[in-house]
A = this chain, B = another copy of it.
Amino acid sequence: MNKIRVSLVGASGYTGLELVKIFLRHPHVEISNLAVRSDVGRPFSELFPALKGRCDLICSTIDVSRIINESDVIFFGLPHKTSMDIIPKFLDSDCKIIDLSADYRLNNEETYKRAYGINHSDKGHLSEFVYGLPEFNREKIRQTNTVANPGCFPTGIELALMPVLQSGLIKTDSILVDSKTGISGGGKTPQPAFHFPESNENVAAYKVASHQHEPEIEQELSKMAGKSVDIVFVPHLVPMTRGIYNTIYTELTGHLVSGDLQELYLNHYKNEPFVRVMENGNVPETKHVVYTNYCDIGMAVSGNRLILMSAIDNLIKGASGQAVQNKNVMIGLDETLGLN
């Protein structure tokens, strides 16, 4: 088959690096543009020496018409709040658009303002984007040209809760999410909290019950439950580079034991290529999923409490891997291409 031409706008961050690494393994993809805001004219492998000899493409400016002409799919790895200023310029094309920022994930401009502190500058397109969680929205993704790729925390949390929310097995007003993330989740720009001597040998909560991903999670969980879901979300930084671990405390509406729930989850995800349900009381561990597109899910019941655990690689299933999975779905390819 013809190669699919992909471009990246905002290629210089960690999601850009991971996208390119996946593209290089993908049999049906060729990279046409790596567009950046700074670093124009430098080889991509100079920004990321790990790619020396593997991707020495020169980083280009964000030349809208050229990128449109030379691409079948365009990935946007720009920061939140920047993405919505640039993406509209690309929306009149036939290109498929996948935005890895948060700008098109929330359906409601008020929620956006509350979460991100500014007015949305492209409200008109908000409703057109499909939330790119293939396990939940596969059909819609197949039929759209514009996908908002889920956040790293939301991905693992939503996948863990989907089966019990859709089955109505847990209370929707009593969901507590304790997440632990590796430091790469904070991006590539040096900051005091991510300075090695500060983040090494340290655990700390941050943005307690006030993280900007909380509205996104509640929005999608509410769709799954068919009614309003309210969560408490507390993320923590832990001293590792990659991986997110979510521990989710819920209350069962009826009497169920671990075995019932394991069965439910195994059944729910039996055809999903990238969700693995732990069996026999095993729990997920981030080391089993890093550098992969898997989400591993485990569970335990204690009285009327159901404790769910999920683990993903924040940069793969939590960002670039899921973006490629979405692309594969949008194009009609085998969903796992480039991801195994």
Contact = CB atoms under 8 A, between A and B. Distances in A.
A203 interface: yes
A253 to B, nearest CB: 16
Contacts of A238: 180, 203, 238-240
Contact of A288 (B52, B182, B249): B52
A31 to B, nearest CB: 15
Contact of A202 (B25, B198, B240, B296): B240
Nearest to A24: B340
B201 A290 contact: yes
Interface stretch (A77-85, A91-99, A114-122, A186-194): A186-194
A143 interface: no
A291 B288 contact: no
A284 interface: yes
A100 to B, nearest CB: 17
B276 A204 contact: no
A188 to B, nearest CB: 7
Contacts of A199: 196
A283 interface: yes
Interface string A300-338: 101101010101000000000000000000000000000
A285 interface: yes
B300 A204 contact: no
Contacts of A257: none
Given A197-B14, A197-B183, A205 B243 contact: no
Contacts of A245: 203-205, 236
A190 B187 CA distance: 13
A182 B197 CA distance: 9
A34 interface: no
B288 A196 contact: no
A190 B192 contact: yes
Contact of A243 (B201, B234, B282, B340): B201
A309 B14 CA distance: 26
Contacts of A180: 180, 203, 236, 238
Contacts of A291: 291
Contact of A201 (B189, B202, B287): B287
Determine which residue in A199, A284, A296, A302 has the highest number of CB atoms from chain B within 10 A of its CB, and name it: A302
B292 A232 contact: no
Nearest to A286: B203
Interface of A: 14, 24-25, 49-50, 52-54, 176, 178, 180, 182-184, 188-192, 194-206, 208-209, 230, 232, 234, 236, 238-243, 245, 247, 249, 276, 282-292, 294, 296, 298, 300, 302-303, 305, 307, 309, 311, 340
